[in-house]
């Protein structure tokens, strides 16, 4: 590769993406980051207050509640979503009539507007008029506060998130499975390993990058969940079911506290990046140890 | 090998993409409006509904009547949902790209005016001799000092809509005091009927009747002190009120799914006869009129409190969020003239009657003609507002404080309603916002 | 990593071969049934949206599970209220331009960050991390500055105002996928081509890109869907209703105090179906023929 890697060619290849990304993503983040040190309403003159917003953030019980909710969603979603999407991808790799159509349909929830995702699931999860509780009550069981209560909201949000993202994750796994060099798999089965052993000891290790990709995507997407929560519960009751971004939206646009909102946004970005990087580092270390 | 195994070459893909783009360009070109100058002045009106024609027929009707009477002026009406609308306006204000006339929250308008983004409407109103057509409280509400930054859009007449049939069916007479309301709630709750229908999901502001109750505990006199810190929100009077709200919760007055129910769903509960009272205002009159419960409707100013502070016989009849005008209009004589004509038309008796015909009360001192049968709901509300001896506060409590404090007030009230906050904790929530605001 | 034979390639494409015996066929049947069942459960809520779109708005709230009156009023109202054709046109235009440019420049950067040789290794991995960090950025932090950026660049009010941020925002995702797959993929094919003497452009265009077909297809689909559904930027940066994109369609039915649920359901179905079709089509035409033309064993 050294013959094509001249300085000039490198620059040519990298420049457009770097320029676009820096101008429209990095610069805005820095710009907003600067505002996080001010007291600002969105218009008028910002007032410099140093770390005041960050101090407020750490003392804000609603922030910690939102963080806790986000972490719960993270743990629950990752635990269920990744295996499920992978299993679905494996399932649909078999020769099934119309598997293309099935894959498209499973991808459907990822496409539908978040407004409607929230709306439909409210009709299912609402403690009083929702389908789920009506079903439970006819069976003689007590109604469960899936949303609108104190504890279960993050779990319910996870379920909705999993539902809407499984097609997305499955598609990436599917593409990854397709790129596997199958002579290794063939060799394993010739050697007499069962399909489960092939899966565990051959396929999955070869899909490491794919798993990493899906996990990082899901982590960052979970940190960015907003519309789902907003439609399901409005963040309530009294901010008890907020996620990080939905609380940031409330602070920035509903409360017009732009400076504080930007501090929240910076913290969210850093958290998302740190958790993803942490995951990457952990999986690198495991790979090296193996 | 069949064709399936031969993937389309990259060149084919590129060509088809170009074709798609060309088609897209063609689609976008067809139907684009041609705006020629030819002497017409264009002004923009930005509202808090994406589909103004359906959601705000009063405004749409006034605009088309105006354009008919002024063929040389074209009003481009646009809008988006409230949250998006306010977001857009904040961003536009900072970059000086505000629409010509727009709906906006009062506190936001006040801040925009202080930042110099709005046109001072005092000279405009003087010139059009409109000052006298408004109730004095309206003018005071939308001014800081001598600057008038907003003009009324529609009225904010709030209260509890009543389904008299449900009360009658359950042997309850129309309550007047708070204790009677609690007693009624206990009876209704025993029958599985929601007493007061409201929804907190994305509509935290829908606590109108409780905001009026704040005025029954001396909010108007306290507000100045609250803002400058000399009076605490955690005072005994408010504690009494919030404890009463908690009482209502214990009596089972509210729906069990208040936190996941939207305001629209709450309205729907009422119009389908599942709730005795609806916490809303006169803007719901059209929806109620066209529903099955219309014949049994009354409008109640709210309960009187025996341990209240000050005047109890009050009804909230004030101006809602105002129209504001972009300051750049003042630099464009043609636009300024068009805007003046629009405002003059909007507050004329003809346009105010259009408001009434579309189920909204007038914002001027105009006395409208209301059809008693076709608009029984609206009439009930207007009668309640003008009944003997009733007074209206200067403004709704949340309109007198900055946005974060208002949001804290909504959260505090809904917090108690949903059993999430004790009355004391609820008060402290608002006090915290007040303290933060003073920094 | 070893090379792969044509036989295994065929396996890859066709999936597992059809089982010969009855037992195997029964297992295959169960697998198929399971797939269909799971898919049905997943799309149940979507089916419900479509069903609800044929209900009068008033009925949707009062009893969303009873299917009493069947009407197409919602669709006629949605079609009358929304300039659907124009909205589709706008969205397709913005989508195609931003996705093509975005995919292209992301590929170039990904290729440079995985295949090409840097003077300092650290720079290469840091740049990759730099681009990937963009995934953690919530879009709301960008709204206000991008608005001002568009204004100062003079592109506000044009299609470019949306295209530019869309390109930038999809770069992290594209880079993640492309660098991921390139790292998993053996470089021998390319090295062979270089030994044969091809230049950078031919290498990318004729050797690498065709091999990355599934990834490219995945990226194209995801990005197009993203543009179709992107709301925050669209709602802020589009001032001219003539330039509205399709993602704003559903929100059009949300008023301050009233919501036209029927309209929302109908417009959502109108927006959803074409995207599903695009997804299905892309799969069949591009992913299916992936390995034809790859290295012979």
pTM for the structure as a whole: 0.88
| A237 in reach of chain B (CB within 8 A) | yes
Chain C contacts of B94, Cβ < 8 Å? 144, 148
The reported pLDDT for the residue numbered B180 is 96
Chain A contacts of B439, Cβ < 8 Å? 39
**What value of ipTM does the predicted structure carry?**
0.86
Residue count of chain A: 290
- Tell me which residue has tokens 């969205």: C91
- Which residues of chain B does CATH 3.40.190.10 include? 41-151+320-346, 156-315+374-438
* Contact state of A119 with C39 under an 8 Å Cβ cutoff: no
Averaging pLDDT over each range in A115-129, B140-154, C53-67, which range is the top one? Answer: B140-154
Closest residue in chain B to residue C96, using alpha carbons only: B21
What sign results for the dihedral spanned by CA atoms B329, B332, B337, B342? Answer: negative
Instruction: Name the percent of chain B lying above pLDDT 70.
Output: 92
- Hey, what are A130's tokens? 């929702």
- Per-residue burial over A192-201, b if 16 or more Cβ lie within 10 Å, else e, is ebeeeebeee
Closest residue in chain A to residue C271, using alpha carbons only: A112
Model confidence at C261: pLDDT above 70 = yes
d(CA C261, CA B229): 45
Min distance A276 CA to chain B CA atoms (Å): 30
| A256 in reach of chain B (CB within 8 A) | yes
Min distance B414 CA to chain A CA atoms (Å): 7
* pLDDT tens string B327-349: 999 999 999 999 999 999 999 99
All residues at 6 or more sequence positions from B25 whose CB lies less than 8 Å from its CB, including other chains:
C89, C93
* pLDDT tens string B128-142: 998 888 888 888 889
Model confidence at B37: pLDDT above 60 = no
Q: Which helix (H) or strand (E) holds A214?
A: helix A208-223
Chain C contacts of A168, Cβ < 8 Å? 222
Angle formed by the axes of helices B219-228 and B208-215, nearest 10°: 90
Chain B contacts of A46, Cβ < 8 Å? none
| Sequence-ordered strand ranges (E) for B12-115 | 41-47, 73-79, 101-103
* pLDDT tens string C165-211: 999 999 999 999 899 888 877 778 778 887 787 777 878 888 888 88
| B27 in reach of chain C (CB within 8 A) | yes
Chain B contacts of A57, Cβ < 8 Å? none
| C289 in reach of chain B (CB within 8 A) | yes
Domains by residue range for chain C, with CATH: 6-287 (1.10.3720.10)
Q: Which of C231, C263, C287 is nearest to C60 (CA)?
A: C263
All residues at 6 or more sequence positions from B145 whose CB lies less than 8 Å from its CB, including other chains:
none
Residue B365 CB neighbours (<10 A): 11
All residues at 6 or more sequence positions from B422 whose CB lies less than 8 Å from its CB, including other chains:
B246, B416
Residue from the list B91, B93, B411 with its beta carbon closest to the beta carbon of A238: B411
- Hey, what are A253's tokens? 């646009």
| A136 in reach of chain C (CB within 8 A) | no
What confidence category does residue C8 fall into, taking pLDDT thresholds of 50, 70 and 90?
Answer: very low
| B215 in reach of chain A (CB within 8 A) | no
d(CA C293, CA B222): 81
Helices (H), B387-422: 403-417
Residue C61 CB neighbours (<10 A): 21
* pLDDT tens string B50-73: 889 888 999 999 999 999 999 999
d(CA C56, CA C71): 7
Min distance B235 CA to chain A CA atoms (Å): 22
Q: What angle do CA C68, C70, C74 make, to 5 degrees?
A: 125
User: Which of the two residues, C283 and B294, has the higher pLDDT score?
Assistant: B294
| C52 DSSP assignment | H
| B265 in reach of chain C (CB within 8 A) | yes
CATH code, B41-151+320-346: 3.40.190.10
* Contact state of A183 with C4 under an 8 Å Cβ cutoff: yes
Please say whether the beta carbons of C291 and B1 come within 8 A.
no
What confidence category does residue B36 fall into, taking pLDDT thresholds of 50, 70 and 90?
Answer: very low
d(CA B285, CA B288): 5
Q: What angle do CA B98, B99, B103 make, to 5 degrees?
A: 100
User: Which of the two residues, B10 and A45, has the higher pLDDT score?
Assistant: A45
* Contact state of A27 with C194 under an 8 Å Cβ cutoff: no
d(CA A110, CA C222): 9
- Alpha carbon A145 to chain centroid distance? 24
Please say whether the beta carbons of A13 and C109 come within 8 A.
yes
Residue-wise DSSP of B181-204: HHHHHHHHHHTT-EEEE---TT-T
* Contact state of A95 with C217 under an 8 Å Cβ cutoff: no
| A147 in reach of chain B (CB within 8 A) | yes
| B331 DSSP assignment | G
The reported pLDDT for the residue numbered A14 is 92
| B83 in reach of chain C (CB within 8 A) | no
* Contact state of B258 with A148 under an 8 Å Cβ cutoff: yes
- Hey, what are A115's tokens? 């407004």
* Contact state of A230 with B415 under an 8 Å Cβ cutoff: no
The reported pLDDT for the residue numbered A73 is 96
- Tell me which residue has tokens 């399971």: C34
Strands B41-47, B101-103: pairing is parallel
The reported pLDDT for the residue numbered C295 is 30
| C204 in reach of chain B (CB within 8 A) | no
Residue from the list C16, C42, C181 with its beta carbon closest to the beta carbon of A163: C42
* Contact state of A179 with C215 under an 8 Å Cβ cutoff: yes
Domains by residue range for chain A, with CATH: 51-289 (1.10.3720.10)
- Per-residue burial over B182-196, b if 16 or more Cβ lie within 10 Å, else e, is bebbebbbeeebbbb
* Contact state of B17 with C205 under an 8 Å Cβ cutoff: no
Please say whether the beta carbons of B301 and B138 come within 8 A.
no
What is the mean pLDDT of the segment spanning C146-150?
90
Burial of A33 by CB count in 10 Å (0-12 exposed, 13-18 middle, 19+ buried)? middle
Average pLDDT, chain A: 87
What confidence category does residue B1 fall into, taking pLDDT thresholds of 50, 70 and 90?
Answer: very low
- Which of B8, B15, B17, B50 to mutate against chain C (most C CBs within 10 Å)? B50
The reported pLDDT for the residue numbered B9 is 58
| A253 DSSP assignment | I
- Tell me which residue has tokens 């101090």: A55
Chain C contacts of A13, Cβ < 8 Å? 108-109, 111-112, 116, 200
| A279 in reach of chain C (CB within 8 A) | no
Residues 72-101 of A with CB under 8 A from C: 88, 91-97, 99-101
* Contact state of C42 with A31 under an 8 Å Cβ cutoff: no
Dihedral (Cα; A100, A106, A108, A113), 10-degree rounding:
-160
* Contact state of A42 with B414 under an 8 Å Cβ cutoff: no
- Which of C4, C34, C141 to mutate against chain A (most A CBs within 10 Å)? C141
Q: Which helix (H) or strand (E) holds C42?
A: helix C22-52
All residues at 6 or more sequence positions from B411 whose CB lies less than 8 Å from its CB, including other chains:
A238, A239, B204, B429
| B83 in reach of chain A (CB within 8 A) | yes
Chain B contacts of A237, Cβ < 8 Å? 200, 258-259, 414-415, 418, 420
What is the mean pLDDT of the segment spanning A150-173?
92
Residue from the list B93, B201, B420 with its beta carbon closest to the beta carbon of A238: B420
Chain C contacts of B81, Cβ < 8 Å? 251, 254-256
- One of 1.10.287.1400, 3.40.50.300, 3.40.190.10, 3.30.1450.10 is the CATH number of B156-315+374-438, namely 3.40.190.10
The reported pLDDT for the residue numbered B307 is 94
- Hey, what are B37's tokens? 């100058």
Burial of A263 by CB count in 10 Å (0-12 exposed, 13-18 middle, 19+ buried)? buried
């Amino acid at each position: 590769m050294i013959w094509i890697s001249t300085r000039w060619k490198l620059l040519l290849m990298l420049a457009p993406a770097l320029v676009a990304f820096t101008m429209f993503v990095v610069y805005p983040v820095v710009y907003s980051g600067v505002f996080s040190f001010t007291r600002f309403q969105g218009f008028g003159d910002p007032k410099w207050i140093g770390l005041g917003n960050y101090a407020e953030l750490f003392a804000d019980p609603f922030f910690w509640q939102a963080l806790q909710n986000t972490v719960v969603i993270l743990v629950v979603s990752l635990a269920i979503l990744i295996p499920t999407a992978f299993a679905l991808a494996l399932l649909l790799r078999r020769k099934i009539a119309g598997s293309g159509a099935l894959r498209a349909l499973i991808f459907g929830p990822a496409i539908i507007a978040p407004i409607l995702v929230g709306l439909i699931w409210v009709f299912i999860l609402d403690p009083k008029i929702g389908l789920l509780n009506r079903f439970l009550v006819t069976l003689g069981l007590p109604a469960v506060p899936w949303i609108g209560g104190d504890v279960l909201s993050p779990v319910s949000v996870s379920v909705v998130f999993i539902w809407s993202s499984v097609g997305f994750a499955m598609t990436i796994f599917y593409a990854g499975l397709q790129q596997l060099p199958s002579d290794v798999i063939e060799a394993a089965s010739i050697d007499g390993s069962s399909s489960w052993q092939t899966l565990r000891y051959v396929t999955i290790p070869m899909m490491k990058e794919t798993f990493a990709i899906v996990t990082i995507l899901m982590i960052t997407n979970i940190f960015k969940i907003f519309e789902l929560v907003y439609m399901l519960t409005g963040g309530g009751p009294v901010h008890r079911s907020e996620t990080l971004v939905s609380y940031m939206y409330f602070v920035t646009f509903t409360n017009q506290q732009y400076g504080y909102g930007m501090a929240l946004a910076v913290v969210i970005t850093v958290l998302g990046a740190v958790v993803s990087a942490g995951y990457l580092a952990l999986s690198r270390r495991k790979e090296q140890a193996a | 090998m069949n064709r399936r195994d031969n993937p389309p070459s990259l060149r084919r893909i590129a060509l088809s993409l170009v074709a798609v783009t060309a088609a897209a360009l063609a689609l976008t070109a067809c139907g684009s409006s041609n705006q020629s100058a030819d002497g017409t002045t264009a002004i923009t009106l930005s509202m808090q509904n994406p589909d103004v024609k359906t959601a705000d027929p009063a405004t749409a009707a006034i605009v088309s009547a105006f354009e008919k009477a002024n063929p040389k002026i074209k009003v481009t009406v646009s809008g988006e949902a409230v949250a998006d609308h306010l977001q857009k306006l904040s961003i536009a204000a900072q970059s000086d790209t505000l629409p010509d006339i727009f709906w906006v929250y009062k506190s936001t308008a006040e801040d925009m005016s202080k930042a110099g983004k709005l046109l001072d409407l005092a000279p405009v109103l003087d010139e059009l001799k409109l000052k006298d057509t408004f109730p004095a409280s309206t003018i005071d509400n939308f001014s800081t000092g001598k600057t008038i930054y907003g003009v009324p859009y529609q009225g904010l007449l709030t209260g509890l809509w009543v389904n008299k049939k449900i009360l009658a069916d359950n042997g309850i007479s129309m309550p007047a005091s708070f204790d009677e309301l609690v007693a009624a709630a206990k009876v209704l709750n025993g029958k599985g009927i929601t007493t007061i229908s409201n929804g907190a999901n994305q509509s935290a502001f829908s606590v109108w009747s409780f905001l009026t109750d704040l005025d029954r505990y001396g909010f108007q006199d306290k507000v100045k002190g609250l803002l400058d810190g000399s009076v605490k929100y955690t005072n005994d009077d408010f504690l009494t009120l919030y404890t009463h709200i908690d009482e209502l919760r214990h009596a089972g007055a509210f729906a069990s799914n208040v936190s996941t129910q939207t305001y629209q769903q709450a309205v729907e509960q009422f119009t389908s006869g599942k709730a005795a009272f609806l916490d809303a205002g006169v803007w719901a009159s059209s929806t109620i009129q066209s529903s099955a419960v219309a014949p049994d409707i009354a409008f109640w100013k709210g309960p009187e409190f025996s341990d209240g502070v000050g005047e109890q016989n009050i009804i909230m009849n004030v101006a809602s969020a105002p129209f504001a005008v972009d300051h750049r209009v003042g630099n464009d004589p043609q636009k300024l003239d068009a805007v003046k004509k629009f405002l003059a038309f909007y507050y004329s008796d003809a346009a105010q009657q259009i408001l009434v015909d579309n189920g909204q009360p007038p914002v001027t001192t105009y006395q409208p003609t209301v059809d008693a049968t076709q608009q029984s709901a609206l009439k009930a509300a207007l009668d309640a507002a003008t009944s003997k001896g009733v007074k209206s506060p200067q403004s709704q409590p949340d309109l007198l404080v900055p946005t974060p404090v208002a949001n804290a007030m909504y959260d505090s009230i809904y917090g108690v309603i949903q059993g999430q906050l004790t009355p004391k904790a609820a008060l402290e929530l608002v006090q915290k916002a007040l303290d933060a605001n003073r920094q | 990593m070893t090379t792969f034979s044509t036989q295994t390639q065929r396996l890859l494409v066709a999936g597992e071969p059809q089982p010969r015996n009855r037992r195997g066929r029964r297992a295959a049947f169960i697998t198929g049934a399971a797939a269909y069942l799971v898919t049905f459960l997943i799309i149940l809520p979507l089916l419900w949206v479509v069903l609800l779109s044929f209900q009068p708005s008033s009925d949707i709230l009062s009893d969303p599970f009873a299917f009493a009156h069947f009407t197409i009023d919602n669709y006629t109202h949605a079609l009358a209220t929304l300039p659907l054709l124009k909205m589709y046109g706008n969205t397709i235009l913005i989508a195609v331009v931003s996705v093509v440019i975005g995919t292209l420049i992301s590929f170039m950067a990904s290729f440079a960050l995985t295949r090409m040789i840097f003077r300092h290794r650290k720079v290469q991995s840091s740049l990759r991390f730099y681009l990937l960090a963009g995934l953690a950025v919530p879009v709301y932090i960008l709204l206000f500055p991008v608005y001002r950026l568009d204004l100062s660049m003079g592109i506000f009010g044009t299609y470019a105002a949306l295209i530019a941020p869309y390109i930038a925002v999809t770069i992290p995702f594209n880079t993640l996928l492309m660098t991921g797959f390139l790292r998993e993929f053996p470089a021998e094919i390319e090295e062979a081509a270089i030994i044969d003497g091809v230049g950078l452009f031919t290498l990318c265009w004729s050797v690498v890109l065709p091999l990355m077909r599934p990834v490219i297809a995945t990226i194209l689909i995801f990005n197009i869907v993203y543009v179709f559904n992107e709301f925050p930027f669209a709602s802020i940066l589009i001032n001219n209703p003539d330039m509205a994109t399709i993602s704003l369609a559903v929100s059009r039915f949300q008023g301050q105090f009233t919501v036209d649920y029927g309209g929302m359901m109908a417009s959502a179905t109108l927006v959803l179906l074409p995207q599903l079709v695009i997804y299905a089509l892309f799969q069949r035409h591009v992913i299916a023929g992936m390995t034809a033309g790859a290295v012979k064993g």
